Structure 1
Amino acid sequence: MSDIFDHTLLKVIQVAISLFAGVLFLQSGLDKVFDFGGNKSYIQSVFAKTFLNSVSTVLFITITILEVAAGATSFLGGIFYFIEGQADFAVLGLELSMLAILCLFTGQRIAKDYAGAASLVSYFLLMVFGLYLHTLQG
C-alpha cells in the first residue's frame, strides 16, 4: 500500500469513513436535540397510524441518544485512530452507526416509507465496509 505522510492508505480510508459517520450522526442527532419539538411532532405524525404510535416519543428520544453517541464516538474515534493508532473507539462508533441505521431503517419500513428506507442502504453498506476494513489490519 502507498503511504500518505506516515499513514497507510487503508488507515486514511478507515479514518475518513469514521469521520463521515461522525458528521452524519452528529448533525442528525444534534438537529433532533436543538429542534426537539419539531422533530418529535414529525415522528409522531409518521407513526400515527402504526402500532408504534403510543411509544413514538420514547423511540424518538432513544434514536436521538443513539445518533449523538454514534456521531461523537465515530468522529472522536476517527481522530484518535489517526493520531494514536488505536482503533477501538472508531470501531465502536461504526458499530453504533450501524445500529442507528438499522433502527431508522426498521422505523421507516414500519411507517411504509419505503423510499426513505431504501436511501439508508448506502449508509449501512458504508458502515459495514468501514468495519470490514478494520479487520484487514490484523
Structure 2
Amino acid sequence: MFNIATILVLVLLAVTFIQSAYDKTMYWKDNLDWLKGHFAATPIKNMVPFSLFLILILELISGILCISGCIELLINNGRTFGLYGAIFSCITLIFLLVGQRMAKDYDGARTIVIYFIPAVMACYWLS
C-alpha cells in the first residue's frame, strides 16, 4: 500500500490519455474539423493534421507507460515505467498547453494545468 497515491495518479493519467487517444482515433474527422477552426488564427493553422497525429502518439505513449508503471509498481515495486509515463504525460500536457495558449483559449489552458499538477507530483514521487 506504500505506492497507492502514485498508482492512483498514474491511473488518472492513463485513463485521461487513453480515453483522449481513443476519441481522437474514433472521431478523427470531427476532431480535425473542430481543431482547424480552433487554430485558424495561429501559426500552426496549416499543421493541424500533423499536430493532432503527434498529440495522439504522445497520448498513447503516455497512457501505455502509465499503465505499465502501475503494473511494475504492483509486481516488483519498480519505478522506471511509471517515471517515464509521468514524464511523457508532462511533455504531452506541455504540448497541449502551448496549443491552447496559441489559440488564446485560456480556459482550456487552465484545465490542462489542473492535469499537469498531479503529473509533476508523480514525477517527484517516482524519481
* TM-score interval (norm. to shorter): over 0.9
Of 48, 52, 64, 2:40 maps to: 48
Unaligned 5+ runs, structure 2: none
Residue 110 of structure 1: aligned partner? 102
RMSD: 1.0
Secondary structure at the residue paired with 1:29? helix
Give the 5 Å matches for 1:56-135. 56-135=48-127
Structure ID, larger Rg: 1
Work out the CA distance in 2 between the residues paired with 1:37 and 1:84.
42
What do the CA deviations read for 1:82-104 (whole angstroms, capped 9, x no partner)?
Answer: 22211111110111100110000
Normalising by structure 1, we get a TM-score of: 0.88
- Aligned residue type for 2:125: L
Structure 1: give runs of 5+ residues left out of the alignment. Answer: 1-6
In structure 1, C-alpha distance between the alignment counterparts of 2:31 and 2:76, rounded to whole Å: 37
Runs of at least 4 residues off by over 3 Å = none
CA distance in 1, matches of 2:62, 2:76: 20
Mapped to 2, the partners of 1:75 and 1:42 lie a distance apart of 30
Residues 91-118 of structure 1: CA deviation (Å, up to 9, x unaligned): 1011110011000000000000011101
Kept in 2, the 8 Å contact 1:12–1:82? The answer is no
What one-letter code is carried by the residue in structure 1 that aligns with 2:19? Q
Q: Does 1:15 align with 2:3?
A: no
In structure 2, how many angstroms separate the alpha carbons of the residues matched to 1:85 and 1:25? 23
SS of the residue 1:48 aligns to: coil
Identity between Structure 1 and Structure 2 (%): 28
Deviation at 1:76, TM superposition (A): 2.2
Task: Tell me how many residue pairs correspond in the alignment.
Answer: 127
